[in-house]
Structure 1
Amino acid sequence: MATNVKADELQARMEARDKHIRESWIQAMEARVVHQALQKCQRIEGVNSYENCKEFSERYIVMLRENKVKGYKEIDLS
């Protein structure tokens, strides 16, 4: 009975880890899509891209800060 409880805990931990990693990769891929849209906008707009692609660039900068692929464990070194 005790091994079954440990197996259930291990299964739950593995599922939580997989979900965390999957969400992290989804956010990273969203940033990639925004980057590709920004590049396309810059190619199309040319000189006017600073004004017309501002929304993409601001969104991409925020995503670069927030949407990094992170591991499941976080170690505090302080």
Structure 2
Amino acid sequence: MLGKKGSTFKHAPEVSFDEIDYRNANDLKDAQESMLKEQFVKIEVVKIVRKALDNCFKVNGPNGYEDCREIADKYLALLPESRGTGYLGYQRNDPTK
């Protein structure tokens, strides 16, 4: 409830697959949701940096390759880790099981 004065946003618990008992359905669901939310945040960060890079190129025109180099480097650094992979691959290959 964000509309009421004085209310706070409830954050989801950060749970990893390393800390849970796979037989407990609630813990498993919390860990899955936590992992998916982390992946969505990474994807959104890449989208924001990409939008900033597009805007930089539009503003700087022909000098964009020189003036936007830092943003382009940040974008390229974020790309490998931005792919959403889901939780099943990690959950099935979890070494702690």
TM above 0.5, one fold? Answer: yes
Q: Which runs of 5+ in 1 are unaligned?
A: 1-5
Q: Map 1:7-22; keep pairs closer than 5 Å.
A: 9-22=24-37
Percent pairwise identity: 24
Question: Structure 2: how far apart are the matches of 1:10 and 1:61?
Answer: 38
Q: Which moved more, 1:8-17 or 1:43-52?
A: 8-17
The one-character-per-residue Cα deviations of 1:41-76 (angstroms, maximum 9, x if unpaired) are: 000001111111001111111111111111101167
Question: Structure 2: how far apart are the matches of 1:41 and 1:49?
Answer: 7
Q: Where in structure 1 do 4 or more consecutive aligned residues deviate above 3 Å?
A: none
Aligned residues: 70
Instruction: Name the structure 1 match of 2:57.
Output: 42
Give the structure-1-normalised TM-score. 0.82
Instruction: Name the structure 1 match of 2:46.
Output: 31
Q: Which runs of 5+ in 2 are unaligned?
A: 1-20
Instruction: Name the structure 1 match of 2:66.
Output: 51
Q: RMSD of aligned C-alpha atoms?
A: 1.8
AA aligned to 1:58 is D
